[in-house]
A and B are shown apart, each in its own frame.
Chain A
């Protein structure tokens, strides 16, 4: 064990590769798909799918890491696990290209992550294999409802077991489902996706009664009722979905089908969040890095270079801002790395995970907003991508737990408080 910051070779290689993807497949069409909301970037999706298959599975489009490669010689010393670290780096790099397009990378997103976190080995085999098949495939997670956002315990969607047919019957309404449309609506270009839907099997049990269910694409009774028009990440579809007597097989429940006082199905959701929060933070960091690099480039073109090392009193206001942005960006990224490193090393990381999300939510909004300000009329213009990155970055502080919710998690951890002691 040691304190070190050398980027492992496989991660360096992956970053190099994805930089090319970002440069060639994302940046040139970034603006187009921002302006043409709800247009699907098929060529990017197909390219990413075949590229990832060619590389032998493991998908940057999933928020769950690939399996660690087994060493060929079992006598060789085991290499330290880096799957989450690799994923965080891939996401950062793709989001540097275009975070909205990253969100339409096939591979399962939050849906696959939920199966990974709470599914049985059989369920994982059944539901996750499809992402490596011929056609690009999507999955989504449906937690949020019109009346229940941050307060996930308030969801009203119900799942009732029909004992005659041994099926779960789901009723309810979900909103803000990332990739909900691509995951559910069947299209010739895509493979069959699924939704992971959170519902209560016993409302009297509160959180302990909450479970998630895999709902396959095309299941009768499911309806996409709306695609949102958004401030940013416009290329990513955000769907409202209604569930009207939707029947799914008994074995599609993730976790235990019975409610005991001790079991909390909700833990599945929370475990998912511990794993995914630093990854979402990583995507934000990617956007912020793009903005900061662009600012430095535009300044350099005007002959302004940053004089690192000068006392603050001698720096220009612009230099001070850039130095501060750099401090924010670098430290936020290190917090992401630590959180995913802990995940790889099977250390509990609820604190570090939420801290990285608090920090990223803060700094990526500040950095991108500052970038627009610093570049004046150019920053605000749609001729450049800075204004788009500012709109894109804001979501980092909202989904996967708002900045406030993650502050609550951090505060409870440092204070040793339960949810009822600090609401």
Chain B
């Protein structure tokens, strides 16, 4: 059957996320971006909603089953509130979900409960590398087996909370194939100063250098990287939908208030048609994302292609929508008192954000 409504269970969870996004994340977004820091209480409140906990089985300290569909529903709403806040709340998933998807039973037992059962802690992951044609399936960071350990070498960037993280998953090419490795604080990573981007000012991101970092062989995630990457791609797409919707709704409401030439600007077709197209494109990518997530959950053969298409399409869509968000506010859109310029700065990033979040 086709179906387009969340289950009652999903609705209950999403309702709490919606409230948090609206009442907590959104009001904090502007100041956090300016101050370049997120209030810790804001993050822990988001963590306590239990989105990740609900996608981890009881055996590993959670209370549910993983569902990429639930994950993308939540991610859209969180990003609708504030992208940096959303990414911060979701950071521990970067560590837990890949272990869930590609780890051994023993790795799951060892690594997941301490993260899931505790307060929010910055467990994280390092995938992205500083090169213009970065390709998650052709990493420059390498892993080489030496006795019963692996030696990791390379340079990672856009790593959330790397400076504080107890442990992170580092992705590296092992015989040319991308694999995840669990790396702990004491293993000899070098973390740079915080990096600065066009957007995401509130999220602490770092470069991580690996020079002969030695990790035990037992810390290799043996499972395939493909489902991990696809789960990152649908997360990226869902977050993009959230930011786009935030920009669309702000611009829509503004256009119904602002007057020019004696009418509301929304009554001018040039504005109204932009809004119609924004709404249409948002819905198009949302459905593509839902379908990709559903295919991941049901193990469909072409799930990986669809996740890639959703993420690629989302990057274009969110740029188009957030650009128009600024355009509809005119000069006022360019001023940081309104959030649309922030949405636009974030919007451009989605072409490079795969790896910053996972559902």
Interface, chain A (partner B; CB < 8 A):
1-8, 80, 82, 85, 308-314, 323-324, 326-327, 330-332, 334-335, 337-338, 341-342, 352, 355, 358-359, 404, 407-408, 410-412, 414-417, 421-422
- Quick check: A415 and B288 within 8 Å, CB to CB? no
What residue in chain B is nearest A6 (Cβ atoms)? B1
B3, A2: Cβ atoms closer than 8 Å = yes
Q: Is the pair B273, A404 in contact by a Cβ cutoff of 8 Å?
A: yes
Of the 9-residue stretches B190-198, B200-208, B274-282, which lies at the interface with chain A? B274-282
Is B313 in the interface zone, CB < 8 Å from A?
Answer: yes
Which of A311, A313, A341, A408 has the most C-beta atoms of chain B within 10 angstroms of its own C-beta?
A311
- What is the chain A residue whose CB lies nearest that of B271? A411
CB distance from B122 to the nearest CB of A (A): 27
Q: Which residue of B lies closest to A309 (CB)?
A: B308
Q: In the bound complex, do residue A312 and residue B280 qualify as a contact, i.e. CB atoms below 8 Å apart?
A: no
Contact check, B277 vs A358: say whether CB atoms are below 8 A apart: yes
Query: With a CB–CB cut-off of 8 A, which chain A residues contact B272?
Result: 407-408, 411-412, 415, 417, 422
Q: A407-B277, A415-B266 are in contact. Are A331 and B4 (CB under 8 A)?
A: no
- Other A-B contacts than A330-B288, A331-B287, A359-B284, 19 sampled, CB-CB below 8 A, are A1-B3, A2-B7, A3-B7, A3-B10, A3-B69, A8-B2, A85-B2, A308-B309, A309-B229, A330-B291, A330-B306, A342-B4, A355-B283, A358-B280, A407-B276, A411-B273, A414-B252, A415-B272, A422-B267
B277: chain A residues within 8 A (beta carbon)? 358, 407
Docked complex Cα distance between A397 and B348 (Å): 30
> Does B290 count as interface, using CB distance less than 8 angstroms?
yes
Q: Which A residues are CB-close (under 8 A) to B283?
A: 335, 352, 355
Is A3 within 8 A of B135, CB to CB? no
Chain A residue contacts of B351, Cβ below 8 A? 312
| Interface majority SS (helix, strand, loop, mixed), chain A | helix
Contact between A411 and B3 (Cβ–Cβ < 8 Å)? Answer: no
**Residues on B close to A: CB < 8 A?**
1-8, 10, 69, 132-135, 137, 229, 252, 255-256, 266-267, 269, 272-273, 275-277, 279-281, 283-285, 287-288, 290-291, 294-295, 298, 304-306, 308-310, 312-313, 316, 351
Nearest A residue (CB) for B72: A3
Q: Would you call B305 and A359 a contact (CB within 8 A)?
A: no
Q: Which residue among B2, B266, B285, B304 has the maximum number of chain A CB atoms within 10 Å of its CB?
A: B2
B266 touches A417 (CB 8 A): yes
CB distance from A384 to the nearest CB of B (A): 26
Distance in angstroms between the alpha carbons of A5 and B296 in the assembled complex:
12
Which chain B positions have C-beta within 8 A of A412? 272
The 5 sampled A-B contact pairs (Cβ below 8 Å) are: A326-B309, A327-B316, A330-B291, A334-B290, A341-B3
CB pair A327–B312 under 8 Å, yes or no, is yes
With A312-B351, A355-B279, A407-B273 known as contacts, the answer to whether A4 contacts B1 (CB < 8 A) is yes
CB-CB under 8 A from A334, the residues of chain B are: 284, 287-288, 290-291
